[in-house]
Chains A and B, each alone.
Chain A
């Protein structure tokens, strides 16, 4: 059988994986602080095979860190860090994770949190608001409870590899790092997902057409093989 069939098969498999990434992006089109994933493709040469055949494959999924659309909520407890900075939160296992979802809430113990994850201040400690106080965040990321300063939100810039942790949390990958930065925040605004429904829909159509083309190629190779068999037939 011709090697080309396997090239086409790999192409079709890569497009199916691409559709999966698009499906995930579109499902999260309304998730605050969600960052779209961008699948990356590369070709590889078969080991010991013919050198001129390039097999396509999905090799990685990068996280698109561009800012998403802004929703003006007017709530003094919603924050949007400037310059693409991330809020630091304590993930379930005690490690630090980062999020752009700035919907702050005080939990039952008075700790500021985002969807159940405790938000950290610049000293690496949770920010505690006294019971029954009304609190807000100012433009410098300072948390004020009843007019008293109780701490400042820790802000980080992610660079290099970024990995997804789910729940709109991100952590730096093996080749990435998180650097503490001085940045302001915008209060009363929230970042929505940065998924562009238009781009995702176009990508979906592209993936499907490419998949169809690869499938067509598989069929063509099959017909070629059949023809080759007929040529060799003696009768």
Chain B
């Protein structure tokens, strides 16, 4: 995007303002995605993080300028902004009481593991689980939960305890039977998880070593059966963000107009 080599100041202003407009576009994209997912179970809002670009040092600090004797200060003008990252907020969403025995919410840190068709693991906070035709505990998309939990189709009174133990009453057996154990994964840096869509997040080296624990252990959250964690998007915050994004975009476009008018004025000299 940046022009090569030395460019006149006004042209540089054009490019600098363009970086500002680009950044605001990214910010709007993020806001739009957050708002669209305001009611997606387990969705975690994102926020675009910006960083200023390296400055052009027009005069090195300490370099003497014969026009101005004395202590020189550096003359550096920045070249605008770029999107450094989108950071996922792991703030907890509101818990909604669904009374559905296969809905689980994680009251604290941690993710449920989901096995993808290729065998890789993905992670989710969306606890709207189902039992598929084979009796396997799966996500709404039919991807099995890891470790496998089989619930016989004729099982009743499914109970999921706070520590993740899954119990159910099975015909011909006395009392509730233990069918499996939900586990959670903790990451040193969960903000670095990458979205795969379908409420799934994928791990990468920046997240650190995953740590598999039983719910409630080692700082992980416990399981709340019959509840769903709603998205943590707050519509009012997003609307305010959207307004300020639009205004910032406009201001940056005004800089482009101004630089353009100044260039026009310059070319009309002759």
**CB-based contact B16/A23 at 8 Å:** yes
Q: Is the CB of B189 within 8 A of A75?
A: no
What 1/0 flags go to B199-220 for Cβ under 8 Å of A? 0000001111101010000111
Using A20-B16, A23-B16, A62-B73 as known contacts, say yes or no to A131 and B211 having CB atoms under 8 A apart.
Answer: yes
Chain A residues contacting B248 (CB-CB under 8 Å) are 26, 29-30, 197
The minimal Cβ–Cβ distance linking A234 to chain B, given in whole angstroms, is 27
Q: For residue A200, which residues in chain B have a CB less than 8 angstroms away from its CB? A: 251
The answer to whether A32 and B73 have CB atoms under 8 Å apart is no
Q: Is there a chain A Cβ closer than 8 Å to B131's Cβ?
A: no
- Tell me the smallest distance from the CB of B221 to a CB of chain A, in Å: 10
In contact, B186 and A132 (Cβ under 8 angstroms):
yes
Is B239 positioned at the interface, with any CB of A under 8 Å from its CB?
no
Complex: how many Å from CA A107 to CA B87?
12
User: Would you call B5 an interface residue if the criterion is a C-beta within 8 Å of the partner chain's C-beta atoms?
Assistant: no
Kindly identify which residue among A20, A55, A129, A219 contacts B12, using a CB–CB cutoff of 8 Å.
A20
Q: Please, what's the 1-or-0 string for A50-65, where 1 marks a CB less than 8 Å from any CB in chain B? A: 0000010111111000
In the complex the two chains form, what is the Cα distance from A40 to B65 in whole Å?
A: 15
Contact with A along B252-268 (1 / 0, CB 8 A): 10110011011001100
Contact of A19 among B9, B20, B186, B220 (CB under 8 A): B9
Query: Are A131 and B62 in contact, CB atoms less than 8 angstroms apart?
Result: no
Q: Which residues of B contact A12 (CB under 8 A)?
A: 266
Per-position 1/0 for B59-101, Cβ under 8 A of A: 0011001111001111111111100110101010000000000
| Beta-carbon nearest neighbor of B22 in chain A | A27
Q: A24-B52, A167-B52 are in contact. Are A211 and B74 (CB under 8 A)?
A: no
Residues on B with beta carbons closer than 8 Å to the beta carbon of A26: 17, 20, 248, 251-252, 255
Report the separation of the CA atoms of residues A30 and B14 in the bound assembly, to the nearest whole angstrom. 19
Nearest to B56 among chain A residues (CB) is A20
Query: In the complex, are the beta carbons of A174 and B61 less than 8 A apart?
Result: yes
Q: Is A22 an interface residue (CB 8 A)?
A: yes
Does B269 touch A at the CB level, under 8 Å?
Answer: yes
Asked if B243 CB lies within 8 Å of chain A CBs, one says no
Contact of A58 among B27, B75, B192, B218 (CB under 8 A): B75
Interface residues in B1-44 (C-beta closer than 8 Å to A):
8-10, 12-14, 16-17, 19-20, 23-24, 27
Whether B219 contacts A134 by the Cβ 8 Å rule is: yes
List of B residues within 8 angstroms of A73 by Cβ:
89
Partner of A44, one of B10, B67, B74, B252: B67
**A31-B51, A131-B186, A132-B186 known; A204 vs B258 contact (CB < 8 Å):** yes
Known: A23-B80, A27-B81, A29-B251. A34 touches B52 (CB 8 A): yes
* Cα-based distance from A60 to B62 in the complex (angstroms): 12
Q: Is B156 an interface residue (CB 8 A)?
A: no
Quote the shortest CB–CB distance from B13 to chain A (angstroms). 4
Q: Is the CB of A106 within 8 A of B23?
A: no
Indicate whether A75 sits within 8 Å of B89 (C-beta atoms), given known contacts A20-B9, A174-B61, A219-B269.
Answer: yes
- Nearest CB in chain A: distance from B84 CB, A: 5
Would A211 and B265 be within 8 Å (CB), given that A26-B17, A103-B87 are in contact?
Answer: yes
Do A16 and B71 contact each other (CB < 8 Å), given the known contacts A23-B16, A27-B23, A31-B51? no
B-side contacts of A40, CB under 8 Å? 73
- Interface flag for A187 (CB, 8 Å): no
Residues of A within 8 A of B269 (CB): 215, 218-219, 222
Which listed residue (B8, B213, B218, B244) contacts A16, Cβ 8 A?
A: B8
Given contacts A133-B219, A197-B248, A219-B269, contact A31 B77 (CB under 8 A): no
Among the listed B27, B81, B245, which residue makes an inter-chain contact with A28, where contact means beta carbons less than 8 Å apart? B81
Other-chain residue from B24, B52, B61, B192 in contact with A173 (beta carbon distance below 8 A)? B61
9 A/B residue pairs, CB under 8 Å, sorted by A: A16-B13, A23-B13, A23-B259, A24-B79, A27-B16, A27-B19, A28-B50, A39-B77, A164-B76
A-B contacts besides A107-B189, A222-B269, 17 pairs, CB < 8 Å: A19-B10, A19-B255, A19-B259, A24-B78, A30-B244, A30-B248, A34-B52, A44-B68, A107-B192, A107-B206, A115-B51, A131-B188, A131-B209, A133-B219, A163-B61, A164-B78, A165-B54
Residue numbers of B with Cβ under 8 A of A are 8-10, 12-14, 16-17, 19-20, 23-24, 27, 49-55, 61-62, 65-68, 71-81, 84-85, 87, 89, 91, 108-109, 186-189, 191-192, 205-209, 211, 213, 218-220, 244-245, 247-248, 251-252, 254-255, 258-259, 261-262, 265-266, 269
